[in-house]
Amino acid sequence: MDLAVVKYSGEDTGRKVSLSSEIFGIEPNDHAIYLDVKSILANKRQGTAKAKQRAEIKGSSKKLKNQKGTGGARAGNIKNPLFRGGGRVFGPQPRDYSFKLNKKVKDLARRSALAYKAKGNAIAVLEDFDFEAPKTKQYLTMLGALSLADKKTLVILGENKKNIVLSGRNVQNTKVITASQLNTYDLMNADQLILVESGMELISNILNKQ
């Protein structure tokens, strides 16, 4: 698949680039995408939720009433989970939600996500550029020139360019990353990918490694 290369101002450069069939032309693997997205979201979880169990509640351990003869259910002490302020039954405890995913599965997931975007014609290729200073207005102008102002976009740079990153940081529904930060969740979460030429080369180098 060949895509036209445009400037960030929306002007056509007259050049075209060819997308690698080994990355953008494969048959997407939905299960690999599911596993990688699940892994990314699980790794983000802090796992610090904690509820006190019966043994951790402060309170008297005195038996509240006679075992029999009261006409009500038996009760041990005030820390009983059935009472307000008592310990919680099977409450959350600190844990690690992360799990290991093989590198080949992660690579397959990223390839599959990129293939979906290529099939959906949701990729735009930009000539390498940079802003002279961080300007949110200039970033919005770029999205407008590319007719992407109303879409959720992911800009993929070849290297970290501070002015571009800062310009897009406060813009809703857009994210700027480098090719080395590419991940399946961001790819699937975006409606449109904006690939900078140098970023495309780096993606090919990363995902074509065996």
Residues 13 and 110 in one domain: yes
Residues 121 and 87 in one domain: no
Residues 124 and 142 in one domain: yes
Residue 209: the pLDDT is 61
Q: Would you say residue 119 has pLDDT above 60? A: yes
Band (14; pLDDT cuts 50, 70, 90): confident
Residues 88 and 114 in one domain: no
Total domain count, the chain: 2
For range 103-108, the mean pLDDT: 94
Phi and psi at residue 22, in whole multiples of 5°?
A: -75, -15
The whole-angstrom separation of Cα 101 and Cα 35 is 8
pTM recorded for the entire structure? 0.83
Residue 35: the pLDDT is 97
- Per-residue pLDDT of 130-170, as tens digits, reads 999 999 999 999 999 999 989 999 999 988 899 999 999 99
Q: Would you say residue 17 has pLDDT above 70? A: yes
Looking at per-residue pLDDT, the higher value among 4 and 36 belongs to: 36
- Per-residue pLDDT of 172-182, as tens digits, reads 999 999 999 99
Q: Would you say residue 208 has pLDDT above 80? A: no
Token digits of residue 76 = 């041990």
- Asked if 131 contacts 168 with a C-beta cutoff of 8 angstroms, the reply is no
Q: Would you say residue 201 has pLDDT above 90? A: no
Residues 112 and 181 in one domain: yes
Residues 92 and 102 in one domain: no
For range 177-201, the mean pLDDT: 92
Residue 2: the pLDDT is 84
Chain mean pLDDT for the chain: 91
- Asked if 48 contacts 35 with a C-beta cutoff of 8 angstroms, the reply is no
Q: Which CATH number do you get for residue 181?
A: 3.40.1370.10
Residues 60 and 151 in one domain: no
Token digits of residue 31 = 């299960």
Q: Which of 100, 94, 112, 91 is nearest to 32 (CA)?
A: 112
Measure CA 96 to chain center.
18
Residues 18 and 115 in one domain: yes
Domain membership of residue 77 as a residue range: 48-96
Q: Could you please report the per-residue DSSP string of 26-85?
A: SPP-HHHHHHHHHHHHHHH---------GGGS-S--S--S-SSSSSS-----TT-TTSTT
Q: Would you say residue 206 has pLDDT above 90? A: no
Band (51; pLDDT cuts 50, 70, 90): very high
Residues 144 and 194 in one domain: yes
